[in-house]
């Protein structure tokens, strides 16, 4: 089998092939680099070819010497460009950091290296992770591999597009309010936002520190579980990192859902389009047929999720982004007139969406408005978490659509921020509650992917992988958005 076919076999397939000697890591990396350099989706900002090939040669030498290999040995993986990778540009898709090279590795990058992964590329994203369509990037929008006229979702749209287009078997993104789950739904992938604290934020450029988490993208539940297992774990450099026991997440994908109680907040489902709602109903029936029980639950405060998030997240962003002042990191614009003029000229290089959120956050934290806005939002955030606690007395997971619509056309919502923000209406409550949530493909509507979101109890990612694996078994793989080539790059076909 050619290197291209092994690359298309996914994370587990590629790793197992390298371990068995069916393909070399160098051949896999070479194939991935060729695809990345011809990327037609604007998914990639930087390709790290020389370092990746050198790492691949080391894996091949270790195998030839009979040494034990890591669970991701030889597997090409892409990183969202807000994750620091030593010696590699880290721009956050912003002109403010254009050309800045990270002097150290993020914790998740350290763990990927330890697992044997080949770090081949940094992916495009919404600027500083602020956006729901990957259109706020200073380097142009990412195109959805299913339809280049449509958005891939945001803010991790580049990572999602790279995996969906089979440029790489797996990738990492960050999720603050839905930024791995919503792109996964738009691009037909599996993606997990872990429990807050499950994965270290060390080396992740901060957007909203009480919300940010790193999560994997993959084309199967098992692939996602293997990536997650590689990056999860306690890190003393992150004060919010939790010392929580790990689990056999990969094994959970085959566990089944017999006896699983799936909570359905039916009032919330009414906000989805007819096509998405039909696919969600089909997914719920598939889980029921596999042995799960559907129970009605309510999340009365979830409707306030958008309002709460767009007070809390911008407030934290206004504080976190104060460090980009022309003195400490990245760009410095000197225009005369003293320090204040330098600050103003430098920070003027932020894009419109980043400026909007900094202004919103600064206003919410200002004297006279803190109690009325930010403090009140935090109180409602607590109520949202309590709603989930009450729901989990009757169920094991809560199911909703991941996004209310399929991928929308590029440019359709750029002039209407509120409509854009509503793209994350289903993902925001779980983020505010700090709970794990997975997006799993739910079939096609209008010829485009849809996603079912499952939210679980804190640190119970295993149950989410079990449900995702059962749904994957019931539906089969989505057809590939990538056209078949001459023996290469032709994705598996399956039911939709």
Q: What is the pLDDT of residues 229-260, one digit of tens each?
A: 999 999 999 999 999 999 999 999 999 999 99
CA atoms of 287 and 259, how far apart (whole Å)? 10
Question: Which is the CATH superfamily of the domain at 3-302+382-475?
Answer: Amidase signature (AS) domain (3.90.1300.10)
Q: Is the pLDDT of residue 220 over 50?
A: yes
Q: How large is the average pLDDT for residues 45-62?
A: 97
Catalytic residues: 80, 155, 179
Task: Answer whether 114's CB lies under 8 Å from 45's CB.
Answer: no
Please state, for a pLDDT cut of 70, what percent of the chain lies above it.
97
Q: How large is the average pLDDT for residues 21-33?
A: 98
Q: Is the pLDDT of residue 164 over 60?
A: yes
**Which element (helix H / strand E) includes 230?**
helix 221-231
Task: Answer whether 259's CB lies under 8 Å from 293's CB.
Answer: yes
Q: Is the pLDDT of residue 492 over 80?
A: no
Return the closest-CA partner of residue 102 out of 317, 330, 322, 319.
330
Task: Answer whether 212's CB lies under 8 Å from 201's CB.
Answer: yes
Q: Is the pLDDT of residue 203 over 90?
A: yes
**Which element (helix H / strand E) includes 307?**
helix 305-320
**122 secondary structure, DSSP code:** E
**214 secondary structure, DSSP code:** E
Task: Answer whether 452's CB lies under 8 Å from 442's CB.
Answer: yes
Q: Residue 427: its pLDDT value, please?
A: 98
Please state, for a pLDDT cut of 90, what percent of the chain lies above it.
90
Q: Residue 483: its pLDDT value, please?
A: 67
Largest CA distance in the chain: 70
CA atoms of 77 and 227, how far apart (whole Å)? 9
Contacts of 366 (CB under 8 A, 6+ apart): none
Task: Answer whether 373's CB lies under 8 Å from 96's CB.
Answer: no
CA atoms of 74 and 83, how far apart (whole Å)? 20
CA atoms of 276 and 10, how far apart (whole Å)? 27
The label of the residue with tokens 């410095």 reads 332
233 burial via Cβ count (<10 Å: 0-12, 13-18, 19+): middle
Question: Could you tell me whether strands 397-401 and 448-456 are parallel, antiparallel, or unpaired per DSSP bridges?
Answer: antiparallel
Task: Answer whether 260's CB lies under 8 Å from 429's CB.
Answer: no
Q: What is the pLDDT of residues 372-420, one digit of tens each?
A: 999 999 999 999 999 999 999 999 999 999 999 999 999 999 999 999 9
């Amino acid at each position: 089998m050619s290197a291209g076919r092994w690359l298309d076999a996914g994370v587990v397939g590629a790793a197992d092939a390298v371990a068995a000697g069916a393909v070399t890591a160098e051949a896999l990396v070479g194939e991935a680099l060729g695809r990345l350099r011809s990327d037609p989706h604007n998914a990639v900002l930087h390709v790290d070819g020389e370092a990746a090939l050198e790492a691949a040669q080391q894996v091949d030498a270790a195998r030839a010497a009979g040494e034990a290999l890591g669970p991701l040995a030889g597997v090409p993986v892409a990183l969202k460009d807000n994750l620091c990778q030593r010696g590699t540009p880290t721009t956050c898709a912003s002109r403010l950091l254009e050309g800045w090279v990270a002097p150290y590795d993020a914790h998740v990058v350290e763990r990927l290296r330890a697992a044997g992964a080949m770090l081949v590329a940094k992916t495009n994203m919404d600027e500083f992770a602020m956006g729901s369509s990957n259109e706020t990037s200073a380097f142009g929008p990412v195109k959805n591999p299913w339809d280049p006229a449509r958005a891939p979702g945001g803010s991790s749209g580049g990572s999602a597009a790279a995996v969906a287009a089979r440029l790489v078997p797996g990738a990492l993104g960050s999720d603050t309010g839905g930024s791995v789950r919503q792109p996964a739904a738009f691009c037909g992938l599996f993606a997990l936002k872990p429990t807050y604290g499950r994965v270290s934020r060390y080396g992740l450029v901060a957007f909203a520190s009480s919300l940010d988490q790193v999560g994997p993208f993959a084309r199967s539940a098992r692939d996602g579980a293997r990536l997650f297992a590689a990056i999860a774990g306690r890190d003393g450099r992150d004060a919010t990192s939790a010392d929580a026991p790990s689990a056999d997440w990969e094994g959970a994908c085959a566990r089944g859902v017999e006896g699983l109680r799936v909570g359905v907040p039916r009032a919330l489902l009414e906000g989805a389009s007819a096509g998405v709602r039909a696919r969600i109903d089909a997914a719920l029936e598939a889980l029921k047929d596999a042995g799960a029980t559907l129970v009605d639950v309510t999340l009365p405060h979830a409707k306030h999720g958008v309002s709460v998030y767009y007070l809390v997240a911008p407030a934290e962003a206004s504080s976190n982004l104060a460090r980009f002042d022309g003195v400490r990191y990245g760009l410095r614009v000197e225009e005369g007139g003293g320090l204040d003029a330098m600050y103003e000229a430098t920070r003027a290089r932020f894009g419109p969406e980043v400026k909007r959120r900094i202004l919103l956050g600064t206003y919410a934290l200002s004297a006279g408005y803190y109690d009325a806005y930010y403090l009140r939002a935090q109180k409602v955030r607590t109520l949202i978490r309590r709603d989930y606690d009450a729901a989990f007395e009757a169920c094991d997971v809560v199911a909703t659509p991941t996004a209310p619509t399929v991928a929308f056309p590029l440019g359709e919502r750029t002039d209407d921020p509120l409509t854009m923000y509503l793209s994350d209406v289903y993902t925001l409550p779980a983020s505010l509650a700090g709970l794990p949530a997975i997006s799993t493909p739910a079939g096609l509507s209008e010829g485009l992917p849809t996603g079912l979101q499952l939210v679980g109890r804190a640190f119970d990612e295993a149950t989410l992988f079990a449900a995702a694996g059962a749904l994957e078994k019931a539906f089969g793989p989505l057809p590939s958005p990538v056209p078949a080539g001459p023996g290469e790059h032709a994705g598996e076909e399956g039911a939709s």
